[in-house]
Chain A
Amino acid sequence: MSGEAKNSNVFRSAARTAVLGLGAALLPRLSGALPFWMKLPSGESSFSGEIDSIFNLILWITGVIFVIVEALLVIFVIRYRHREGRRARYTHGNNRVEVIWTIVPAVICVVLALVSRRVWAEIKQRMPEDAMQIEVTGEQFAWNIRYPGPDGKFGTADDIVTLNQLHFPVGQKVVVSLHSKDVIHSFFLPEFRVKQDAVPGMTTKVWFDAAHVGHWEIACAELCGLGHYRMKGFLTADSKEDFDKWLAEQAGQTPPPASSAGGPAPTPAAAPSSQAPPAPGVSPPPDGKAASPPSDRVSSANTPQEAKTSS
C-alpha cells in the first residue's frame, strides 16, 4: 500500500470516528436521565453501536434544525401578528438566501448518506467469511432453523433442525441464509439491529454476533397473515461449550421436518382462523418478567427450554 493511500485511509477513519463519535459521545450524557421508552434498546451485535451512532447523529442534526425552524415559526407568528397601523414588508424573496438554504441542506444530506454508506456496506453488502452458517426458513407462523451438522453441508442427512430455537456461540459471527416457504417474512432481532426479509424463491443473507451470553427473541417484522403477531422465535447466545452440548442434544433428537401443523412452538402455530381467538394479552409472559418492563433482555433461561421440552 502506498503512503498516500495509507494517509487517506487514516484521514478517512479519523473523520469517520469524529462524526460517529459526536453522536455517541453527546447522547449518553443525557440519556441517563431519560425513561426507558425514550431510548433505543441496548445493542448486542458488534455493529449495533455504529447504527445507533448514526441514529443519534441524525437525531442531533434534525433536532437542531427542528428547534430552529419551530422557534422561528413561533417567533415570527408572535412578532408579526396583526396590529393596527402596521403594514407588511413588501418583498418577493431573495435569491441569495434561496441559494444558501438549498446548498446547506444538500451538503448535510450528502454527508449523512456518505456516513451511512460505509456501515450499510459492512452490515448488508459483505458477509464475513469466517462465520458460522445457519439456514432459517420462515413459514406461517414459525421459524425453521437448520444447522449443517458435522459434514458442514446443508441438505444432507446429518443436518440438525430445530423449530424457533436459534442458538449460537458467543463471540462467533453468524451468517443466516433466509428462505421462506410461503409468504414474505422479516427476520428481526431488535437488540441486534438486524432485520432482513425472507422472500419465497430467494435467498437473502444477514449476519450478526453477540458480545454476551443471553436470551432474546426473534420477531417477524413483515405482515405475513393472521398469526403474524405471534411468529416469534428464541435466540440464545451460549458459551462455546454450552452451544456444542446443545447442538449435540439436538442432533440426538432432531424433530421430524417441521410443518406448520402441531409444531412445538411456544404459542400454537398456524391455528386455523375458525378457532377461538387466542385471548391476547392474558397469557403470562413465559419468564415471569412482566413486572420489570424496562429489561432489554429476557434473562431467564427457562423460556427456550420450556418450548423445547413441550415437543
Chain B
Amino acid sequence: MSTATVAVARELPHGVHPAPTSFWRKYIFSVDHKVIGKQYLFYSLFMLVIGGFLAGLVRWQLAWPGKPIGFMGKLLPEGMPGGQMLPEFYNSLFTMHATIMIFFAIMPMLIGAFGNFVIPLQIGARDMAFPRLNLASFWIAVPAAVIIIWSFFVTGGAAQSGWTSYAPLSAIQPRGQTLWLLSLLILGISSLLSAVNFITTIINMRAPGMNFFRLPLTVWALFITAILLLLALPVLSGAMIMLLFDRVLGTTFFLPAGEVISGTPLTNAGGGQPLLWQHLFWFFGHPEVYIMILPAMGITSEILPVFARKPIFGYRAMAYSIMGIAGLGWIVWGHHMFQSGMNPILGTTFMISTMVIAVPSAIKTFNWLGTLWGGVIHFTTPMLMALSFVSMFVIGGLSGIFMASTPVDVFIHDTYFIVAHIHYVLFGGSLFGAFGALYFWYPKMFGRLMNERWGKIHWFVTFVTFNFVFFPMHFLGMRGMQRRIYDYSQYAHLRGLKPMNEFMTVSVFVLGAAQIILVLNFFLSMRRGRVAGSNPWHANTLEWQTSSPPPHENFDHIPTVYRGPYEYSAPERADDHWPQDEPPSGAASVGHA
C-alpha cells in the first residue's frame, strides 16, 4: 500500500476552470490539452502530405531524370521551368522533404498530437501543468510552418543544403536557407515549451497511486523524450544562431581562412571551422533520432499488450532500456562523422559506443516478442500497425550495425544504404507507430471508431509498398549510389540501376495513393464511424475509464490508481482486463508494481 500513495496530485477541484463557450476559445485558442493535441494532429497530417508530395517529386526525378511534369512548371516556374526539374530545385526538394517530415510531421504528430492528448489522460490529470504555455507552443509552431512553406516561393528557392545543412555550403546558399534557419529556430522555441510542460506534468500531476512504475510505457517514453528535447534542442538552436550570424552579420564561426567561392575569395572568412557545425548538429541530431523513435516505441508497447490481452513482458526492462537509449544517445554523435575528417581514433570510440546502443534496442525487441508469446492476439488495425513497427524496426536497427562499423561505413557512408536505414527507422518505425496511435486513440479523440476494413486495406498497401520503395535502397547503397544526386546516370558505377529506381518510384506512387484511404477514413469516421463508448478496446489505462471524447477536465473525479497499466488476463479475474483505477475487492493483489 505504501507504494500506492506516494504520487502527489496537485489538483485543483473540478470546475475551477469553467468550460469555454465561445468558438474561438473552444476550438482555436484553446488551452485544453485535448484540443491542442487535435490541432497538432491536423497540423502534422497536413505537413505529412506536403512532405510526401516532395518525396514523390524526388522519386520522379530518380526514375525518369529530366522528364517534365507539366503542372509543376506552372506552380514553381523558377525551380521547374517547363516542368523540367533543375538540379538546385532537386536539392531543395530532398532538403525540404527531410526537414518537413522530421520537424513538422513526425515530431508534432508523436509528441505534439499524441503526447498532448494522451499524457494528462493516462496519468489521471485534468490538463497539462501549464495550459497557456501549451497554447503558446502550438501557436508558435504555426508561423514556423508558414515560413518553411513560404521559402519555396522566395528568390533562389527553398534551402538546398540538405536537412543537415553542413557549413560552409549552408553559409553561402541563397535566401531560402535563412528562412529555413528562422523557421527551425521558431519551431525550437515551441518544442522547448512543450518539453518543459511535459516534464512538469508527468512529475507533478500524476493521480494518487500513479507511481513511476505504474506509468503506461507511452508516458515513460514521452517523459524521456521531453528530457532529451529539453537538453538537445538548445544545442541546435545555438548552432543555428551562429550559422545565421555567419549568413547575415558577417561572422565566421564556420568559415575558415582562404575560402574561395566560384573564383571569388571570401574576404571576411577566417578562423572558422566547418566541422564545428557537424559536431553541434549531430550532438543534437543523434538524440533527435531517439526523440522521434522513443514515443513510437512507447506507443507500440501500449498497443501490443492491449491486443495480445497479456501484460507487457519485462515492464521494468522496457522502462530502463528507454533510459539506457536516452543516456547512450549523448555519446554516439560522432558515428555520423567517421569520414568527415574527425580524428580517426575518435571514430573507434564512437564505433564502440554506437555498437553498445544497439543493446537496449535489442532488449526492447525481444520483450515485444515476449509479450506476443502466449497471448491471445486480436488483429485490429492498431495492432497490425504495431506489429509492423516491430518487424520494420528490426530491419532499421540491424542495418544500423553496418554503418556503425567504421571500415564498412567508409563505403556505405552517404550512399542510399543510409537512406534505407533512416527510412526503416523513421517510416517503418516512427510513422507506423504514429499510424497505430492514430487508429488506437481515434475513438477516444472523436468518440467514434475508424472503419476497420478500410483501416486494414490501408495497412496492407502501406506495408507492402513501403518495403517495395525502401528495401531496394539497400541494394542501391551496396552499389555505391550516393545520396542527394540529381542524376545518377552520370556515373559508370551506377549504370543499370534505372529499372530498380523506376520500380521504387512506381511503388511510392501507390504508397502515396494508399494514404488517400487514411484521409477519407479519418474524416468520414468522425460522422459515420461506429460509436466507440468509453472503452472499445477493453484497455486498462486511465484514458479508457472516462467517456469518449473525455469531458472538459477529463474526469468527473480524479481516479485513484491501484495497479500497473498492463494487467490483462489475470488468473484471479473472470474479466480479461483490469482497469488501473478499479478498487481492489477485499485484499486482492496490487499487480506486479
**Interface residues of A, Cβ cutoff 8 Å to B:** 36-41, 50-51, 54-55, 58-59, 61-62, 65-66, 69-70, 72-73, 76-77, 80-83, 86-94, 97-98, 101-102, 105-106, 109-110, 112-113, 116-117, 119-121, 123-125, 139-140, 181-184, 186, 188, 190-191, 193-197, 199-202, 204, 216-217, 219-230, 232, 259-261, 267, 270, 273, 277-282, 285, 287, 289-290, 293-298
Q: Shortest CB–CB separation between residue A95 and chain B, in angstroms?
A: 8
Q: Are A201 and B274 in contact (CB under 8 A)?
A: yes
- Interface members, chain B 465-485 (any A CB < 8 Å): 475-476, 478-480, 482, 484-485
Partner pick for B482 among A112, A125, A194, A219, CB 8 A cutoff: A219
Which chain A positions have C-beta within 8 A of B25? none
9 closest Cβ contacts across the A-B interface?
A293-B496, A201-B256, A89-B374, A190-B480, A281-B65, A280-B487, A109-B355, A93-B314, A226-B88
A90 cross-chain contacts in B, Cβ below 8 A: 310-311, 568-571
Name the B residues within 8 Å of A220 (CB-CB). 482
* A121–B348 CB distance below 8 A: yes
Q: Indicate if the CB atoms of A259 and B263 lie closer than 8 Å.
A: yes
Give me 19 A-to-B residue pairs in the complex whose CB atoms sit less than 8 angstroms apart, sorted by A's number: A37-B479, A38-B478, A54-B408, A55-B408, A66-B398, A80-B308, A92-B311, A101-B363, A106-B359, A113-B348, A116-B405, A181-B259, A195-B413, A195-B414, A199-B275, A200-B256, A228-B484, A280-B66, A294-B496
Shortest distance from the beta carbon of B383 to any chain A beta carbon, whole Å:
9
Cα separation A50 to B379 with both chains bound (whole Å): 46
Contact with A along B345-367 (1 / 0, CB 8 A): 10110011001101100110111
Q: Are B261 and A80 in contact (CB under 8 A)?
A: no
Q: How far is the CA of A87 from the CA of B398 in the complex (A)?
A: 34
Chain A residues with Cβ under 8 A from B344's Cβ?
120-121, 124-125
Interface residues of chain B, those whose CB is within 8 Å of chain A, are 64-66, 81, 84-88, 91, 160-162, 166, 168-169, 172, 256-263, 272-275, 308-317, 339-341, 344-345, 347-348, 351-352, 355-356, 358-359, 362-363, 365-367, 369-370, 372-379, 387, 390-391, 394-395, 398-399, 401-402, 404-408, 410-411, 413-415, 475-476, 478-480, 482, 484-493, 495-497, 500, 568-571, 576, 592
- CB pair B262–A76 under 8 Å, yes or no, is no
Residue of B whose beta carbon sits closest to that of A56? B408
Known: A92-B312, A93-B370. 14 other contacts (CB 8 A): A81-B377, A87-B569, A87-B576, A88-B374, A93-B314, A112-B405, A116-B408, A117-B406, A120-B344, A181-B259, A188-B482, A217-B492, A225-B88, A229-B487
B66 touches A279 (CB 8 A): yes
Q: What chain A residues lie within 8 Å of B493 (beta carbons)?
A: 41, 190-191, 216-217, 219, 296
* Contact in complex: B475, A77 (CB < 8 Å): no
> How many contacts between A and B, using CB within 8 angstroms?
341
Answer whether A184 and B576 are a contact pair too, CB < 8 Å, given A223-B169, A228-B484, A277-B87. no
Contact among B275, B340, B369, B569 with A69 in the assembled complex (CB-CB below 8 Å): B369
Interface centre among A37, A72, A83, A290 (most CB of B within 10 A): A37
Q: Which residue of chain A lies nearest to B91 when distances are taken between CB atoms in the complex? A: A226
Question: B490–A230 contact, CB under 8 A?
Answer: yes
**Considering the chains assembled together, what is the distance between the CA atoms of A55 and B492 in angstroms?**
23
- With A109-B358, A229-B87, A277-B66 known to touch, is A82 a contact of B410 (CB < 8 Å)? no
Please indicate which of the listed interface residues B256, B314, B356, B571 has the most CB atoms of chain A within 10 Å of its own CB: B314
Residue of A nearest to B492 (CB): A298
Chain A residues with CB below 8 A from B274, complex form: 184, 199-202
B residues in contact with A186, CB < 8 Å: 339, 414
Question: B340 — which chain A residues lie within 8 A by C-beta?
Answer: 184, 197, 199
Smallest distance from the beta carbon of B228 to chain A beta carbons, Å?
22
Question: With A and B bound together, what is the CA distance between A172 and B363 in angstroms?
Answer: 48
* Residues of the B chain whose Cβ atoms lie less than 8 Å from the Cβ of A278: 87
Knowing A66-B398, A195-B413 touch, does A91 contact B313 (C-beta < 8 A)?
Answer: yes
